[in-house]
A = this chain, B = another copy of it.
Amino acid sequence: MTNNRLEAFSDGVLAIIITIMVLELKVPHGTDVHALVPLVPVLVSYLLSFLYVGIYWSNHHHLFHSARRVSGGILWANLHLLFWLSLFPLATAWAGENHGAALPTAMYGVVLLLAAAAYYILQCAILAHEGPDSLLAKALGRDWKGKLSPLFYLTAIPMAFVNPWISDGLYAAVALLWLVPDRRIERVLERE
């Protein structure tokens, strides 16, 4: 099985996830500046989630670029990742409409953590299929970003019950960490 259709389907799902989050941005009631105020935290949440889905799309792109063929296991590991990513719009809307509230901020981190775990499982499934001497294995190297991100989420989730703004800062920090696209794979590919 080639990975063309899997990439096309994933692209479709990610494109829809990134776009339907906009549907949670309710049209303001009223036409003055005050009507825009409640929109600000929702927009900030939307921006953060947009970055996260963009990062996942970019890394997904790099991951499958180095994996030429997919197995049934990889197919389901990919659907598992898409499932957790599909909960982003809900988690984003709940956290955005209740900015500064403990539980919505913590749950946002739980969804981020489970999506990160699903991505890790997908990466392992592809690595197992490609072998330890594969291009991908070399390109990933020690994968310090992938190992650091869950630690940030695991800190941010309980911290939401102390001070949600610290959690928000940690979520933003992970996004910035990844914003630099995964040059490792690009570099190894160029060297070959």
CB of A90 within 8 Å of the partner chain: yes
Q: A9-B11, A75-B58 are in contact. Are A24 and B27 (CB under 8 A)?
A: yes
Stretch with Cβ within 8 A of B (4 or more), from A12-20, A113-121, A125-133: A12-20
Stretch with Cβ within 8 A of B (4 or more), from A97-105, A138-146, A165-173: A97-105
Question: What are 27 A-B pairs with beta-carbon distances under 8 A?
Answer: A1-B186, A5-B7, A5-B11, A6-B61, A9-B57, A12-B16, A13-B15, A13-B18, A13-B19, A15-B16, A18-B86, A19-B20, A20-B20, A22-B89, A25-B90, A31-B101, A31-B103, A33-B103, A36-B103, A36-B107, A47-B83, A50-B86, A54-B76, A54-B79, A58-B75, A58-B79, A75-B181
CB of A68 within 8 Å of the partner chain: no
Known contacts A31-B101, A50-B79; 20 additional CB pairs below 8 A are: A1-B65, A5-B61, A8-B8, A12-B15, A12-B16, A13-B15, A15-B15, A15-B16, A17-B19, A19-B86, A20-B23, A28-B94, A31-B98, A31-B102, A33-B103, A35-B103, A54-B76, A58-B76, A72-B186, A76-B179
Nearest B residue to A13 via CB reads B15
Count residues on chain A whose CB falls below 8 Å from chain B CBs: 59
- In the bound assembly, the distance between CA atoms of A61 and B6 in angstroms comes to 9
Main secondary structure of the interface of A (DSSP, over half): helix
- In the bound assembly, the distance between CA atoms of A76 and B58 in angstroms comes to 9
Interface residues of A in 57-103 (CB under 8 A from B): 57-58, 61-62, 65, 72, 75-76, 79, 82-83, 86-87, 89-90, 93-94, 97-98, 101-103
CB of A183 within 8 Å of the partner chain: yes
